[in-house]
Structure formats: C-alpha cells, structure tokens
Structure 1
Amino acid sequence: MSQLRSRFFAIVCCTAFIVSCASQQYSQMPSANTGKRIKSLVIHFTAINYEKSVTALVKEGGLSSHYLVPESHDDTYGNDKIEAIQLVEESERAWHAGESYWQSRTHLNDSSIGIEIVNVPQCQWDEALSPLHTEYGDNRLCIFPDYDPAQIEAVISLAQDILKRNPDIEPTAVVGHADIAFNRKNDPGPRFPWFQLYQAGVGAWYENDTLASYWQMFNDARPNVGLIQAALRAYGYGITETGTLDLPTINAISAFQSHFLPYHLTGQPDNKTAGALFALLKKYFPQKANKLIKRYQNENAARSEAAAITPVHGQVDDIYPQQERSSRQDVNDKARFKSYSGRGEMTIVASEDADATIAINGETLNIASPLMAGKPYHYSLKRRTHDGVNTLAVASVTPSSANVHITIPYPTLVDDTAAWKKRFTAVDNLIKQDINNGFPGAVLLVVKNGAVVKHTAYGYARRYDTDGTPLASSEPMTLETGFDLASNTKMFATTLTLMHLSGQGKVDINQPVYHYLPEYRGSGRESRTVRDLLTHQSGYAPEVQFFTPNNSDGEAFFSQDKALTAQLLLNRVPFVVGNGVNASYSDTNFMLLGLLIERITGMTLDQYCERVLYTPLGLSHTLFNPLRKGLSAYEFAATELRGNTRDDSMSFPNIRTHTLRAEVHDEKAFYAMGGVSGHAGLFSTAKDMGVMIQMLLNGGGYGNVKLFSEDIVNTFTKPAANHPGFGLGWRRPADGANRWHFGPYASASAYGHTGWTGTVTVIDPELDMGIVLLTNARHSPIVKDSNGNPRFTGTDFETAKYGSVIAKIYETLLNAR
C-alpha cells in the first residue's frame, strides 16, 4: 500500500510538472481581432430598502449586480457616508439584466455592468380596469420618489470610473433596465436624473435645437407608427416593426420617454417623442437618421399619391374613347354591366361640346346633340335593360379631340315584397309554429333578382326573464331589430375587409402571415399563410378560452386585455395538427386575421369596417360595440338570459350575469378582445345584411360604390382545392355535405356562413338570390342534456337548425319560375 501511494504521488507530481511546463511553453501571437467584453452599463432601482436589497442581491440566490448604491436616511443602511459597494467583479457576470436586448445584443448579463440604486417607488394596480399587473398603463399608479442627491453623486463618480475601465461602453449604451426590458421593467423610473449624468459625461442626450427642428417637421406631417418603431430599433430598443400601436410599442415608448422625456410620459408616439428620438439618432447615428428621414419623405409622398387616386363610382366608370386600345378592333370602347329588366341609369359628361353614338344591348340611345361640355346628362335605361349581363358600346365621339365620361351604377335593392306576400306560406308556417311553441324570435329577408321579395319579423326581441319564465309583456321583434351576428362577423367584417384590401393590392393571401405580422414566428408559424387562416387549414384547435383562467391551455393563456390576447395569439397559441393536414374550423384563425387587418390598415377592425365598408354603403346599423356608439339596447334582440353563466354552470372573473343585449355574446370577443374581433362582435339588421348580399351578387359594388372587383368575389368564394366545404372564409355547400346549412337545393356556386347566436346567410349567384335569417335562438331557457351539460332550448327548434327554413325558401323561389 505504501509503494502504491508513493507511485501515485510520483505520477501526480510528474503530471503537475508537465502541465506546468506546458503552460510556460505557450507562444504569444496577439490578434487584432478582439474587443472588450463589456459593452453596456445598466442602471436599476432596487424598489426595496438597503437591508432587503442586500438580502436579495447578496444572500439569496437568483439576483445580483456589480454595484449597489445606498441612499441617505435609510434606517437599514446605518452609515452617514454614501459609497458604492461592489458585489461582483466587473470581469464576472452578475444576474441583473434578465431577458434583455440592446443594440443587437441579447442576454446582457454577458456584456454589461449593472448598478442597483436603492430607491423605493410605491405602485398599485386597479384590477377593475384590468386584471393585468403591467409596468405601464391606465390601471397602474406609481409614485416615484426623488433620488438622493448624495446618492446620485456617488453614482456619477462610479459610472465615470466604470467608463474609464471599459472604453467600449458608448454613450448610447448607458441605459436603464426599462430600456433593455421594457415589457417587464420600468426602473430606474422617470425621476432618475439622466440629464445630470449626461452633463457629467455619462450617457447620451439630444441637442435641444435638433429636437425642436424635428418636432416642427413632424408637426407638418406626422410620422407613422412603423417609422417610430424602426427609429426605436435603430437607437437600440428591442422592438419589432409592426406598424401598429401594440402593447410592446407602448411599453418601449414609455421607457424611452421615462429616460429622455420624463416630463412627457404618455406612452404615445407623438411628435415630441419622435422629435427627441430622431434628435438622438442624428447626434449619435447620423447615417441611420438620414436613412429613416428618407423613408419618412417617401412615405409622405406615397400618402399624398394615395390621397390623389380618384375613387371608382359604379360598375362602369370610364372615359371613351378608351386610352388603352387593343389591336382587335371590336373589343374597344365596350363594357358589360349588370342590371335588371326595367331598371338602370347612366350619366354622361363630355370634355367639350361633342356628339356621341352610344348603344345599350345593341340599341342606340337617343341622347342630346351636342352634349355640352362639363354638363352631366342623366339617362334612364329601363327601356333597354334586361336581367343579368347588359352591354354598353360607344361607336363614336366627335370631334376627335373630345371624350365622354360614362358612369353606370350597380343595381340597388327595390322592394317587391307585396308581389310575393302570399308565396312564402310554408316558411311562415314553420317559423310561426316554432314561435307558438316557445322559440324566441327571428327576422327573415330574401333577395331575388335585385329585389327584396321577403322581409318579415317573427316573435319577440325579448321573450324571457332571467329565470327562464316568459315575461308578462314580451317585446315584439321588428324589421329594424339588430342582431349579434356571431360568426357571420367572420364573413361580413373580416373577409369583406380582406377582399377589399386584396383588391387594393394591400394584402396577398398567399403571403406568409409573418409578412404582415413580423412577430408571428416560431413553432411552425413561418409556414402559415393568410390563405391557411382563411380556409381553416392552419392547424389550430377550435378555440382558446382566453376569458377564463380555467381554460384547457393553462392559466398562462388567461387574458381579459386585448393587447395581451394579441401577444398570446401571435406568439403562444399552439397548433394541434400540422399545416394543411385538414380543414378544422377555428376562431383563432379569424382572431389573427382581425389583428392582421389592423396591422395593415393602421386602424382598429371596427373603425375600418364602419368607415370604409359600411358607411359608403349607407349601413347605419352595422357596427361593433353598439352601446358605445350611441345606440340603445332596446334596438337589439336579446341573447343569453343570464350573461355567460349558462344558468350558473360557468364562472370566471368579471362574468356577466344580466340578460345580454347589444353586447357581443362571444366570451373571447367581449372579454379578451374588447368587443371587436375578427371572429365575432358585429351587429346588424336584416335590411343592412341584404344590401351587403346584393353587393356581392353585383360582383363587388352597390349603387355608386365599388368595394372590389368581380374577380375578387370569385377568388374568395370558390371552394378550396382539398376541402370543398370552405372557400376563403366562406362556407360552401360541398355537393350536399353541408345541406344542414344550405338546404338540398343550393347550386354549386352558393356560399354563406352561420353564427352561434342563431344567424345564417346563403348567397346563390346562379339563382341571383340571397337569404338572411337572423334569430335569437340563445335567448331561451337552459336545460341539462343527458351528460349534464347545459343546452339552450331554443336550439331544438327547426328554425334554429337553418336547413329546413332554407329549403322552403328555395322551393318557393324555384317553383315560382
């Protein structure tokens, strides 16, 4: 044993000698390709007193910092002199930054020095405004105390020494914790004297004259959110350019203002903030500033160009002779338009006194000769038109220097209900029988050949009390009653908007979603296209119940705040099957499409739909959140009797318990998206819906309004290649597979949708007809099924099952031919 131990020590000694010799034999060849590890200096406040700071940073695991600076009058400090205390060697990592980003660097623990300053703000949250404990927002109140002057002098002295030892720390890399982690931190707060540090040679600041110059420029033409996001990124912030004022952007702007505009802490991308940001870029990153200003100028020019584009009025809105001419003689100066027998009109305006030969359906019109320059001439076409496609031909315009501007509006609906009054007996009897047996109510509207041939209200807008008993005085349904469209929102808000944007070239359905939502990445999101979302082939589960912490995806997916819901949709919601494996109907697809629309347009979904689509069509009762926009609850049909409780079968924070009326029923739309979502939230009347259906039957326009082309309508409504039950958003008959919705007679060109509250639409271009059935089937007592699950009794009736009503309407129309 003694010999073995001696041999072991000998081996150890020899090995040690060899290693020692080897270490002394390394040759030195210094490389020029090197740099200092430390690139940033990060300032924090501890938010707790000195004693607790020591415990957190020194004695307990998880947190640390390179330096700790106490403050005067802290009873737990016990020292009259303020001095910086080193906790970690500068050459070593300290765990102070956490998940972070600055100037293209992540995980800043590896490349920064951290200074923790004892400073204790008092913050509280109002959970009635929002249950989220965010760093910024109206639901948080923080009282930030002034910093101790002696403490700041110690910080300045320490920072000056650190900069001497670490020359790679640029002025713009002296930052606050909020700058590098704005989504979860707000330290060192708006009271920290950044300008005082700058005056002592620590950190960055802008020139006031430069700020004023940019502020004045931006007052003349405000920069868009995307440009401000790009500028924040150029300066160093880890923000993704999305083009919309999302929660991360508000947080980043708040952090920037706290640092550089502490007297102007709004969280908004206003001109003062943009001025300070560009003044900093001009001083420290002039090339980046010049590039972004060039972009700013180009975007202003593009906006001016877009504003100068003349909108199209009607289905024909052309100047003849046409400027772009074909070598095929007989295809020039001609157009097709849709009309109906005995209807239609045309307006002609000549550029100078001129004569013109114009024919409709081969018959020359008797028009003024000459046409006086600039004078609008209105002509009725009712003696020339027929149902369907009509032709316009301009044979000649003289003199040759002249031209004529011809407009022909799209067909608008006329009332022909009197002529059809006795023909819908079978469908009337079916719905009335259901009403007599307890069904709440409905409004039915049928469009045929450009006319409303059926428009009838049945039953009650509100029939039941909250306990399920009939009201002593029920409120009758009227033709003007508004309804919660539920998933018909997907079609008549989200899909119509995408059709409009597609026609303008602002969205390409074959592009990946991340092309429009750059943060939509990871876990296979990069492969999903806009088309995949529209056709429900993206692989999402039917829904994520964001509104309750008890959702099947876990409490991390609980959100009753739109901004947080948006982030979860963009980054967190998992796929349950692969992309394109099957078509599985999912609200998640259209919630994402709603966000995509908001990103592209820079407007909320309701703003865009109501201003750009509905108002031009004259639809005053098609809108989101009607109670917030001046309408009364009594103008709308009631839905669930006791909020979202399913007769006390459900419970979650802030659940509604009153009878719902003019409030979107869908929980995800109401709680998680503020009432405006791509999948639900739209309210409308049957009359307004009829206008939108006729617009689609017209090929994209109504009256003098053109929303998109007939090609766009055809593209969006044709069946998906692998799943014929879906178009782009729209549902299809699928050769009878969906006869529960479309009935047994729908043509192969039919399309439409349903809504959970009891709404259904069918549009059949082959028969030039459309059906709107709006019911409040969910406004009914709840019973338990055989499995103990709640069931609305209103859904037991044939009227609520759609197919029978649709079948009887088709039979009436087809048998009348």
Structure 2
Amino acid sequence: MNRKHLVTKSCTAALSLLMLASTSVVCIPNSINQPVFAATIKRSQEPAGQYQINESFPIDEKDDNPRFDTWSLLDNINRKFYGFKGQGSVWVHSNNPKKFSLYINGRNIKLTKVGRNKWVKLDISKYTKNGNNALQISPQKGISASDKIDVKLPYPVLIDNTKKYRDNDTFKAMDKLIKAEIKNGYPSVQIVVIHNGQIIKRSAYGRVNAYTQDGKRIKSAPKVTNTTLYDLASNTKMWATNMAIQKLVSEKKLNIDAKVNTIFPTFKDKASDKIKGKTDLTIRDILMHQAGFPADPQYHNNNYDPNNSNKRKKDANPVYTQDRNNILEKIIATPLQYKPGTKTIYSDVDYMLLGLIIEKITGEREDQYVENHIYTRGAS
C-alpha cells in the first residue's frame, strides 16, 4: 500500500456523512421466564474456540484466589458481555445444574432439563440487546463445595445486510464524493459501516499500490476489493509512543528539549556524514518530524537501493537488519536527508528512535511498558 497519505476536505466530508445515521434505544420487558434448549454434547467434546466469558462458578472465597472480589460480592456472580439484539448463545456445563440459576439481562433461563456433565448450547437471542448485556450465575440453597457450573459465551457475529441499504441516499453521496477523490489522486479507500451488529455498507475504491515510490500514478494497478488487506500503519505512534512520551514528560523523567546523545552517547555525527545534525538533535525535533531522517529507509529490506528506490538490487541496503538489538546502530548510520529543523518530513525512523528512548528510560520493552503503565486497569 502506498505510504503517502493524502487528506482533503471533501474526503473528510464524505466520511462525516456517517454521523447522519440514526441510532435507536431498544427496551425489552423483563418479565420473561422461559427455558431455551438446544443440542447437547458430551464433556469430552467441550466446545473449543475463544469466548468473551469462559469461567467456572461459584468463585471460591480463598485468600489466594485472584478471581474472588472481596469488595463487591455481586461481582462474583455477574459478568458483562457485548452483544446484539436478536442473536447470541451460551454454552453451559454442570455436575449439578439444579443448584444454579442462569440469568440473561435479568431473565431467568431455566436449567431443569440440562443433563449432568454434558455441555449444552442455549439460545439467548430473545433476551439480548445491542451493546452491553449482563449474565448472572446464582447458586441455590444447599449447594455443596463440589457443585460447579462452567459457562462459555461466544463473541457476537456480524450479519451482512448491505442489500437493504444499497439505495441509501447518504451512502450514494459518500460513493460520489470518494470516487471524485480517487479521480483526483487519492490512492484507495475501503469502507465498512456496522450498525447494531449488521454490516450495512461495505465498499472498496481505487487501486492497490496506486503510486510508485517517487509519486507517479500506476493506472494498471489491480483494483482494491473488500478483501484487500491494508497495513494499518502508524497507529502505535499515537496510541503507544506518544502516550508513553507524554507520561514520562509529566513525571519529569524526560525533557523533550534534551539532546538524544544525553540518552544515547553514541548518537553523534561522523566526520564522513555529508549532512550533519545528529549531535545536536533534540527529542522535540524528532516529535515534530524535523529530525532530518528519510521517510522509510526500509531496514527490513536487504534489496532496497536508497539511490534508486524503484529498482530492487541484491544486498543494496547498507542499513539492513533483522535484529532489534542492532537498530540503534543502524539509525545512527542512516544518512540525514536535510539539516534537522529546516524541514518537516514524516518519517518512521523518528518514532523508532522515540521507542528506543522510552525503553532506555523505563528499562522495559515499549509494548510491555505501555501495557503495564498505561492500558492496564488501575495503572499509575
């Protein structure tokens, strides 16, 4: 996929039309009390796969049980799950099902016909709603320590309903605007609109690899389809690296006006460098994409020729590496394309370097630092 992204007002306007779609609130009476059953399978045929709820109940009250919530006993019997109105199922297995009650959004699903030690798939589509739903497992009186119930609740499934919305005026306007953008140079667009568990719009526009590295349009490139894979690049720049940098600055562990060589002493100009500026390069320069580095030196591609990016040449890339332990050395060896601070050129190298700075200061891999200190519940 072409990495030169174009942003125009009219394309933004096309996407903003999505905001015109209406939403609705669904209210379901909570007086339903009805058993629902489906085919059973033996314990040896335990359903495989990934589930948003996959737990055994009741949760034992033990000092060494991290699943037991001593602050809110209700949390030990209640679980939230995401779903859509009109769909959903839950797998249940128990050695004594008569000792438990199962509720979906407050509606009792009786387990009286569930056999012992058999997995049963229950249809809960009548009781689900769009968004967050509630599952509750309540033990009955006289339950023994050996009584258990296992619950597996799958993730929701998207339903294709694009035919119904094919003549939607909003989507027609979107098609018109995006096609105009493609005609005037936008590389490609792939759109999926999902509303309450239904795919109501799925379209593809433009061509794969629509431009050469030097910006020439390739009119013979294959068309984008609904199954074309895109490189969702640069998301971690914002949601990992920038977040980590902000946290370190707020904690006074990092000064963005500090020179890079105060963190990495070897980060300096060499006498042979045609364009110098690494010795005085600051973290602020990097954050502003004014560090002087090329957009993409393709460290991963040994056959990339920096002197002729349109042709592959065996072993032509002097900064090629497959070892993350060598990447700082390769960044230092990467020639600058302009004097830092004099231009603004978006560069992947800038954020690779920022990631290394984060790891040096924190002593952790960037992914682990972000997970442990930013996105983990209760992280400081």
TM-score by length of 1: 0.26
Q: Secondary structure at the match of 1:317?
A: strand
Q: Report the counterpart of residue 416 of structure 1 in structure 2.
A: 161
User: What is the alpha-carbon distance in structure 1 between the residues aligned to residue 331 and residue 217 of structure 2?
Assistant: 40
1:363 maps to which of 101, 107, 111: 107
The one-letter code sitting in structure 2 at the alignment partner of 1:350 is S
Query: Greater RCO between the two (CA within 8 Å, min separation 6)?
Result: 2
1:378 maps to which of 109, 121, 136: 121
Output one character per residue of 1:111-133: Cα deviation in whole Å (capped at 9) or x when no partner.
xxxxxxxxxxxxxxxxxxxxxxx
Q: CA offset at residue 460 of structure 1?
A: 3.1
Q: Secondary structure at the match of 1:407?
A: strand
Output one character per residue of 1:400-425: Cα deviation in whole Å (capped at 9) or x when no partner.
23011212233343323223222211
* Matching of residue 407 in structure 1 with residue 174 in structure 2: no
User: Which has the higher Rg, Structure 1 or Structure 2?
Assistant: 1
* Matching of residue 539 in structure 1 with residue 298 in structure 2: no
Q: Report the counterpart of residue 193 of structure 2 in structure 1.
A: 446
Q: Secondary structure at the match of 1:566?
A: helix
CA separation of 1:451/1:538 partners in 2, compared to 1, >3 Å: closer, same or farther? Answer: farther
User: What is the alpha-carbon distance in structure 2 between the residues aligned to residue 342 and residue 447 of structure 1?
Assistant: 16
2:82 maps to which of 338, 342, 345: 338
1:590 maps to which of 338, 351, 360: 351
CA separation of 1:464/1:396 partners in 2, compared to 1, >3 Å: closer, same or farther? Answer: closer
Structure 1 residue runs of 5 or longer lacking an equivalent are 1-310, 503-508, 515-520, 527-536, 550-557, 578-583, 606-707, 717-817
CA separation of 1:714/1:454 partners in 2, compared to 1, >3 Å: closer, same or farther? Answer: farther
Q: Secondary structure at the match of 2:176?
A: helix
User: What is the alpha-carbon distance in structure 2 between the residues aligned to residue 522 and residue 312 of structure 1?
Assistant: 49
2:222 maps to which of 466, 472, 475: 475
* Matching of residue 348 in structure 1 with residue 96 in structure 2: no
Q: Report the counterpart of residue 560 of structure 1 in structure 2.
A: 319
For residues 59-208 of structure 1, what are the structure 2 equivalents within 5 Å? none
Q: CA offset at residue 358 of structure 1?
A: 0.8
Q: Report the counterpart of residue 203 of structure 2 in structure 1.
A: 456
Q: CA offset at residue 429 of structure 1?
A: 0.7
CA separation of 1:353/1:346 partners in 2, compared to 1, >3 Å: closer, same or farther? Answer: closer
User: What is the alpha-carbon distance in structure 2 between the residues aligned to residue 470 and residue 567 of structure 1?
Assistant: 36
Q: Secondary structure at the match of 2:293?
A: coil
* Matching of residue 319 in structure 1 with residue 319 in structure 2: no
Output one character per residue of 1:735-793: Cα deviation in whole Å (capped at 9) or x when no partner.
xxxxxxxxxxxxxxxxxxxxxxxxxxxxxxxxxxxxxxxxxxxxxxxxxxxxxxxxxxx
Output one character per residue of 1:80-118: Cα deviation in whole Å (capped at 9) or x when no partner.
xxxxxxxxxxxxxxxxxxxxxxxxxxxxxxxxxxxxxxx
Q: CA offset at residue 384 of structure 1?
A: 0.6
Output one character per residue of 1:436-487: Cα deviation in whole Å (capped at 9) or x when no partner.
456554322223333332211123336679995775x663322222334442
CA separation of 1:315/1:538 partners in 2, compared to 1, >3 Å: closer, same or farther? Answer: farther
For residues 559-638 of structure 1, what are the structure 2 equivalents within 5 Å? 560-562=319-321, 564-567=326-329, 569=331, 587-588=348-349, 590-592=351-353
Q: Secondary structure at the match of 1:482?
A: coil
Farther off after superposition, 344-353 or 379-388: 344-353
* Matching of residue 389 in structure 1 with residue 132 in structure 2: yes
* Matching of residue 712 in structure 1 with residue 366 in structure 2: no
CA contact (8 A) 2:187 2:207 kept: yes
CA separation of 1:585/1:347 partners in 2, compared to 1, >3 Å: closer, same or farther? Answer: farther
Output one character per residue of 1:14-40: Cα deviation in whole Å (capped at 9) or x when no partner.
xxxxxxxxxxxxxxxxxxxxxxxxxxx
User: What is the alpha-carbon distance in structure 2 between the residues aligned to residue 572 and residue 462 of structure 1?
Assistant: 26
Q: Secondary structure at the match of 1:318?
A: strand
Q: Secondary structure at the match of 2:207?
A: strand
Q: Secondary structure at the match of 2:227?
A: coil
Q: CA offset at residue 332 of structure 1?
A: 3.8
Q: Report the counterpart of residue 19 of structure 2 in structure 1.
A: none
The one-letter code sitting in structure 1 at the alignment partner of 2:375 is I
Q: CA offset at residue 361 of structure 1?
A: 0.8
The one-letter code sitting in structure 2 at the alignment partner of 1:395 is S
CA separation of 1:487/1:446 partners in 2, compared to 1, >3 Å: closer, same or farther? Answer: same
For residues 631-670 of structure 1, what are the structure 2 equivalents within 5 Å? none
Tell me the percent identity. 23
The one-letter code sitting in structure 2 at the alignment partner of 1:523 is T
CA separation of 1:388/1:328 partners in 2, compared to 1, >3 Å: closer, same or farther? Answer: same
User: What is the alpha-carbon distance in structure 2 between the residues aligned to residue 437 and residue 488 of structure 1?
Assistant: 26
Q: CA offset at residue 314 of structure 1?
A: 2.6
Q: CA offset at residue 335 of structure 1?
A: 1.7
CA separation of 1:328/1:461 partners in 2, compared to 1, >3 Å: closer, same or farther? Answer: closer
Q: CA offset at residue 568 of structure 1?
A: 5.3
TM-score by length of 2: 0.51
User: What is the alpha-carbon distance in structure 2 between the residues aligned to residue 346 and residue 714 of structure 1?
Assistant: 27
The alignment of Structure 1 onto Structure 2 pairs a total of residues equal to 256
Q: Report the counterpart of residue 669 of structure 1 in structure 2.
A: none
Greater fraction of residues in helix: 1
Q: CA RMSD in A?
A: 5.1
CA separation of 1:567/1:413 partners in 2, compared to 1, >3 Å: closer, same or farther? Answer: farther
User: What is the alpha-carbon distance in structure 1 between the residues aligned to residue 113 and residue 248 of structure 2?
Assistant: 51
CA contact (8 A) 1:358 1:394 kept: yes
User: What is the alpha-carbon distance in structure 1 between the residues aligned to residue 318 and residue 162 of structure 2?
Assistant: 47
CA separation of 1:713/1:422 partners in 2, compared to 1, >3 Å: closer, same or farther? Answer: farther
Q: Report the counterpart of residue 21 of structure 2 in structure 1.
A: none
